[in-house]
Amino acid sequence: MAEKWMVGVDLGGTTTKLAFVNSEGEFRHKWEIPTDTSEQGKEILPNIANSIAAQLTALKRDQKDIEGIGIGVPGPVDMETGIIYESVNIGWPQNYPVTATLQQLSGLKVVIDNDANVAALGEMWKGAGEGAKDLVLVTLGTGVGGGVITGGNIIHGAKGAAGEIGHITVIPEGGEQCNCGKTGCLETVASATGIVRTVKRRLPLFAGSSLLKDHYTNSGNVTAKDVFDFAAGGDRLALEVVEETAKYLGLALANIANTLNPEKIVLGGGVAKAGDTLLKPLQASFSQYAFNTVAKSTVLELAALGNDAGVIGAAWLVKNIG
Ligand SMILES: [Zn+2]
Q: Which domains are delineated in the chain? A: 5-122+308-320 (3.30.420.40), 130-303 (3.30.420.40)
The mean pLDDT of 138-148, rounded to a whole number, is: 93
Strand order in the sheet with 264-268: 153-154, 144-150, 135-140, 264-268, 299-302
Residues 6+ positions from 95 with CB-CB distance below 8 Å: 83, 84, 85
b/e 298-311 (16+ beta carbons within 10 angstroms → b): bebbbbbbeebbbb
167 CA to middle of ligand 1, Å? 4
Task: Report pLDDT for 322.
Answer: 65
Residue 149: φ, ψ to 5°: -115, 120
Task: Report pLDDT for 1.
Answer: 65
88 CA to middle of ligand 1, Å? 14
Percent of the chain with pLDDT over 90: 89
143 CA to middle of ligand 1, Å? 9
181 CA to middle of ligand 1, Å? 6
Cα–Cα dist 298/184, whole Å: 26
Amino acid at 163: G
Task: Report pLDDT for 160.
Answer: 83
193 CA to middle of ligand 1, Å? 13
Rounded to the nearest integer, the mean pLDDT of the chain is 95
pLDDT digits (tens, 9 = 90+) for 185-201: 999 999 999 999 999 99
243 CA to middle of ligand 1, Å? 21
Which of 38, 207, 202, 24 minimizes the C-alpha distance to 125? Answer: 24
209 CA to middle of ligand 1, Å? 34
262 CA to middle of ligand 1, Å? 23
Task: Report pLDDT for 138.
Answer: 96
170 CA to middle of ligand 1, Å? 10
203 CA to middle of ligand 1, Å? 25
The mean pLDDT of 29-51, rounded to a whole number, is: 97
92 CA to middle of ligand 1, Å? 21
pLDDT digits (tens, 9 = 90+) for 212-256: 999 999 999 999 999 999 999 999 999 999 999 999 999 999 999
166 CA to middle of ligand 1, Å? 6
Q: What pTM, to 2 d.p., does this model score? A: 0.90
276 CA to middle of ligand 1, Å? 27
Is the pLDDT reported for residue 89 higher than 80? no
Reading phi first (left if > 0) and then psi (alpha if -120 to 50, else beta), residue 131 is in left
201 CA to middle of ligand 1, Å? 19
29 CA to middle of ligand 1, Å? 37
177 CA to middle of ligand 1, Å? 8
Element (H, E) at 8: strand 5-11
199 CA to middle of ligand 1, Å? 20
314 CA to middle of ligand 1, Å? 26
Going by DSSP bridges, is the β-strand pair 144-150/135-140 parallel, antiparallel, or unpaired?
antiparallel
